Chains A and B, each alone.
Chain A
Amino acid sequence: MSPAVEERHETRDTDLGDEELRVRLSKTWGSARGLIGILSTVDHKIIGIRYAVTAFVFLLAGGIMAIIMRLQLARPDSHLVDAELYNQLFTMHGTTMMFLFGVPVGEAFAVYLVPLMVGTRNIAFPRLNAFSYYVYLFGGLMLWGGFALSIRPDVGWFSYVPLANLNFTPGKGPDYWAQMITFTEVAALAVSVEIVVTVLKQRAPGMTLDRIPLFVWTLLVHSFIIIFAMPAIMLASSMLIMERLVGTQFFNPDAGGDPLLWQHLFWFFGHPEVYIIFLPGTAFVSAIVATFSRRPVFGYLPMVLSLIAIGFLSFGLWVHHMFVTGLPEIGAAFFTASSMAIAIPNGVQIFCWIATLWDGKPVLKTPLIFVLGFFFIFVAGGLSGVMLASVPIDTQVHDTYFVVAHFHYVLIGGTVFPLVAAVYYWFPKVTGRLMDERLGKWQFFLAFTGFNITFFPMHLLGLHGMPRRVYTYPAETGWGGLNLLASAGALLFFASFLLMLYNMIASARSGALAGDNPWGADTLEWATSSPPQPQNFDRIPCVTSGSPLWDQGDHKAVVGGLKVDERELVVTSLTEARPDIREESPAPSIWPFLAAFATAAAFIGSIYTPWAVTWGSPVVAILLVAWFWPKTIEENV
């Protein structure tokens, strides 16, 4: 199985014993210490953790904004915050949760787990991976730094024109918002390319397409959705910046433009965005359901086909965000049909998971309990989505709290509950220690009750006529009671996250030691130590089944022949994962950080003057040249 060529003077992994191999590989693959070392690392695990921590900080920030809004809405005619601040709060809340938490947190898990699950030593294009993280970080810092400096977008996370145009919203708020999108989308696109290449070319030998874990399949589809959806929003946000900065008239009907063009472009991205955020949630559910049912997920093929169907269908739904703009009736009806159709592949997934639990022997640990919460909430949110798909019903509930309730059921139920489950599930892999089960169950109790008390009443508020994005409401509307209830629930829900934070910190210090595979799971990330060594696997595993750790027992087949003193990994063929070549994986480098910094400077500068693009581009180009400067390498053939 090993690459055919032997070169005597180099040490191969077949030459060494286990202990020595481990030490030498971890030296080869390790990251340097010191500031430069920290900024230069290309280890996907370190970058994945950074992604996750950053995303969780933004989750907390977005959550605090939500709490302030709920306090304001707790009673009618409240003056806790004024209209201006409230509008900034809901804009920042939505933007932060969608772009700085929802998308990146999926990437965090993808970056950390996919290389481990497919049995390789690093992600494809690891320097691009480092670059993507810094771009995301700088984008988030720019938005929040602007907020601290009172440059605050206040036109919603959707920035509809003409409200977002210069004449209605002067100042730089919307420009910061639009540029932040460019940042996070550059990052997301980079990660997607890495994941696609990692999954298609770096799988462990023997991991044929039908042995890829469902988690990995899901993130592969997720990456393809990003690759096709994100360009739409980058185009749209760039058009918005140009409209504001140099007076293009893309959206001005008096000059032949159209404000609906913005909505089409935004939602052509915006609906796939929902699935970009939701699919990592389903990936977590697939992994956790299988492990705690003690068997593979029922219906592998229907699951994979559903995922692919979701990927395609997610691009055919965007108009259901525009049902009340006065579109032609037939056109709108088409999108009713397509929006309802996507419930079918989602239903297939739900039924497959339930069938797995039914057939299996579920062990009720915290991760599975959160997944059960996911079923309860997400199915409800999905079904209220079927209502929104109907044009006539949508005319009543569109842009009301009914929709707010719906998408929190879908996004929190579909993503955040599985995410919390995933934190409990993979925390031992990342830190080597288990999280506290008792606190986990308390957290579930708080989160589940808090969530439902917060968001269920919002369905009723919407039906009772409460529109979204209102900073206050008169007492006469009778919305006070339900709003107060929702606000109380929000405090409970928020408390559940504080409890998780405490549990994470306490468990990282003194949790029970986990061992390699504390849950008895079946995928390859559990075949290595907790936390994994820099090289991930001392010997590259060889896969003969969809559940390698359950099937192969203690006799783990491995592939040998990789150099020990160089960063080498195995590239395999696309469908059958036959070992193809040994490929060198890039070493740590400071250039990605510097390039990201220069890119950020150019992006931020271009908010103020188009010349920033002109002067920034050569700098970025020079740094990229340094980054890609060819080294003389010995040919290994």
Chain B
Amino acid sequence: MQFRWPHETWNFGTAAWPGPLSQLWRVDAAEQKNAADQAEGEERRNEESGFAKNPGIAVQTHGSASSALYEALNTERDRRVPDAVFSLFRRAPNWRALASFMAAAGGSALASGCAGVQSALDPHGERADALAVLFWIFTAVLGLVWLVTMAGLFFALTRRRDSRGEQAEAHPAVKRPVRIAFAAMLTSTFIILSGLAVLSFDGQRAGFGHGVGAAITISVIGHQWWWQVRYEGNNGFETANEIRIPVGSAVDIKLTTGDVIHSFWIPSLAGKLDLIPGKSNELRIQADKPGVYRGQCAEFCGQQHAHMAIFVVALEPGEFERWRAKQAAPAMPMAHLAKQNAFASAASSPFAALSERSQ
């Protein structure tokens, strides 16, 4: 059994990397395993806990701890699908249910499925749900358009084949059915595109409008190649490469950059938004259930762009408050933590979220 977190494979070369933080990332594999084992024990003891509902955390039952974790995030989906199908008939527009239903339908159609810790087709938040629905509607409509076009092409080719050596016609009489078919295709193209555009506008307004103020505002500052996360407010504090949020609350992420352009993207929760010098962008995320959601920088930002990952850890509200209070306590600033690297690594890795609950 080996734990391999993405950052363990990093090869920094001569890249500039902030000293204390780099220590945060030297995660001892054995330590992580312990953390996970504890989590598993806890799960058996405490059936009510949000995380414990995910049997996937039981590390030993799976090939690798990581896949176990990933599965932990997604088992909910399997359970949810029948509900989703059911609720389609029960309540009118239920975006979430529709999303998971379509994701499941599409997922089984595409052999590889849609599960994954970092997948736009595996939504776990209101916005990602709506985006997934929109995506599947577009896919269905445009897939149909493609099929009709290819069918037209196929019949065009198979209609008349005994044609070799025939003289070319410079002025063929254009037949009426061809004209009608052409006009029909053109009209339907126009109607379909207009319909999709309206759906798109609707999705844009619903998904990007900022309603009432969010419960929490978090500043995320992009750096080559890490994420600085700053919890604003009187008792503000900072973390790196990890954002903890309470389940069920809207969280506004303020995006700025310390150097080049980056892009903040947690596919399971929301679409991406760039971090641009001289500009401040704001993105709202919300997680529906506890879990660890992976994301990574989506705008090429230099040598180690591939390794600029970030984890969003969604905790039950009470748990989140406890964590926040602990972080905000003056004795635990990040720089101080970093020096005690053994503890720090455990505390700042996403897995720590799982182990902490067991205490």
Question: A residues touching B (Cβ–Cβ < 8 Å)?
Answer: 77, 79, 82-84, 87, 154-156, 160, 162-163, 168-169, 252-254, 258-260, 294-296, 298-299, 324-326, 329, 332-333, 336-337, 340-341, 343-344, 347-348, 350-352, 354-355, 357-364, 372, 375-376, 379-380, 383-384, 386-387, 389-400, 460, 463-465, 467-478, 481-482, 520, 522, 545-547, 550-551
Contacts and interface: CB of A to CB of B under 8 A. Distances in A.
A465 B119 contact: yes
Which of A252, A375, A396 has the most C-beta atoms of chain B within 10 angstroms of its own C-beta? Answer: A396
Given A332-B204, A472-B9, A550-B169, 17 more contacts: A87-B305, A160-B261, A162-B261, A163-B302, A168-B260, A253-B279, A295-B170, A358-B152, A364-B157, A379-B150, A389-B200, A396-B131, A460-B110, A482-B112, A547-B170, A550-B168, A550-B170
A79 B13 CA distance: 13
A474 B271 contact: no
Most buried by B among A154, A341, A362: A362
A163 B300 contact: yes
A155 B182 CA distance: 45
Interface of B: 4-6, 9, 11, 13, 64, 66-67, 70, 110, 112, 114-121, 128, 130-131, 134-135, 138-139, 142-143, 145-146, 149-150, 152-153, 155-157, 159-160, 163-164, 166-172, 174-175, 178, 181-182, 185-186, 189-190, 193, 196-197, 199-201, 203-205, 207-208, 224, 259-261, 263, 265, 267, 270-274, 276-279, 281, 294-306
B168 A168 contact: no
Contacts of B199: 390
Contacts of B5: 474, 476
A163 B260 contact: yes
B66 to A, nearest CB: 4
A358 B252 CA distance: 56
Nearest to A169: B302
A299 B182 contact: yes
Given A332-B204, A359-B178, A363-B163, A392 B298 contact: no
B277 A84 contact: no
Contacts of B128: 396
A341 B261 contact: no
B150 A376 contact: yes
Contacts of A394: 271
Contacts of A465: 116, 118-120, 265, 267, 294-296
Given A324-B273, A326-B281, A347-B186, A163 B301 contact: yes
Contact of A392 (B66, B149, B203): B203
Given A344-B190, A375-B153, A392-B131, A336 B298 contact: no
Contact of B70 (A254, A324, A478): A478
Contacts of A476: 4-6, 64, 66-67, 70, 117
Nearest to B185: A351
A162 B259 contact: yes
A396 B135 contact: yes
B298 A400 contact: yes
Given A392-B131, A464-B121, A467-B298, A163 B261 contact: yes
A343 B168 contact: no
Given A259-B276, A326-B281, A361 B121 contact: no
A464 B196 contact: no
Contacts of A354: 149, 152-153, 156
Given A259-B277, A359-B174, A400-B298, A390 B168 contact: no
A298 B267 contact: no
Contacts of A357: 153, 156-157
B159 A395 contact: no
A156 B300 contact: yes
Contacts of A469: 300, 305-306
A340 B306 CA distance: 32
Contact of A395 (B118, B150, B271): B271
By Cβ-Cβ distance, the 5 closest A-B pairs, closest first, are: A395-B271, A253-B278, A361-B163, A465-B118, A470-B306
Contact of B119 (A259, A333, A463, A520): A463
B57 to A, nearest CB: 15
